[in-house]
Amino acid sequence: MMLGNFVNVAAILGGSLLGFIFKKKINKNTSASVFRVLGLCVLYIGIAGVLETENPLLLIVSMAIGTVIGETLDIEGFLERTSQKLETMLKADEGSGLKEGFLTATLLFCVGSMAIIGPIESALTGNHTTLFAKSVLDGISSIVFAGTIGAAGVALSSLPLFTYQGSIAIFAGILKPFMTPELITALASTGSLMILGLGLNMVLDAKLKISNMLPALLVPVVYFSALAWIG
């Protein structure tokens, strides 16, 4: 059940190492260009996922409610404070990019359709294909991020990734009766919209607080669970 998750983590750590090794061979202009090109790819992934939504109204309501909850809890601030503590613990320089690398990589790797569907498929069917494909994408992204932002932050993002995808896999088995195709599609489209926002941050420096949108993923779960209970 966890094989795909372990492979995903290994791809990120391997990519971080490669990015660290070849970092000095890439000048700043090239790094910035590659970072924005990767942002365009993230935009494409986000748009493709959002276009698959079957319930636009649920998507809008989920994002609105989720953002209100996220802003109230200040998830973005919590993650920033956590990354700052990590910088202190690791005695990283202020310009080391640990915080930016950790936040950007964590959001990219954890928020999206593949990060949701992959663990669910692994848990319910034993099929790890989606997570294997995600591992390839994350590995390539890790090389670029580690070389442009900072290897330490990117490598550390593997910890929340493993916890996040592992939790989804475990709960997928427990909540199997509620994991309908409609719920999976709603979760995937909501995550894809966040991926789209992350792409805008990477390309246009839009400064969207994607972390504060994360509670939106809970709204479809509550909605479809309520429908099942009423029905």
Residues 109-119 have pLDDT tens digits of 887 667 887 88
Residue that wins the pLDDT comparison between 101 and 70: 70
Q: Nearest to residue 8, comparing CAs of 143, 117, 158? A: 158
Q: List the structure tokens of 124.
A: 């319910």
Percent of the chain at pLDDT exceeding 70: 91
What is the model's pLDDT at position 69? 97
Q: Tell me the residue type at 15.
A: G
Residue 130 has pLDDT above 60, yes or no: yes
Whether residue 101 has pLDDT greater than 70 = yes
Mean pLDDT within 161-167: 93
Above 60 in pLDDT, residue 96? no
CA-nearest of 70, 71, 101, 66 to 83 is: 101
- Local confidence band at 200 (pLDDT 50, 70, 90 cut-offs): very high
Tens digit of each residue's pLDDT (9 = 90 or more) over 65-86? 999 999 999 988 887 787 677 6
Q: Shortest CA distance to 83 belongs to which of 138, 167, 11, 155?
A: 155
CB 210 within 8 A of CB 75: no
Return the pLDDT at 12: 95
pTM score? 0.77
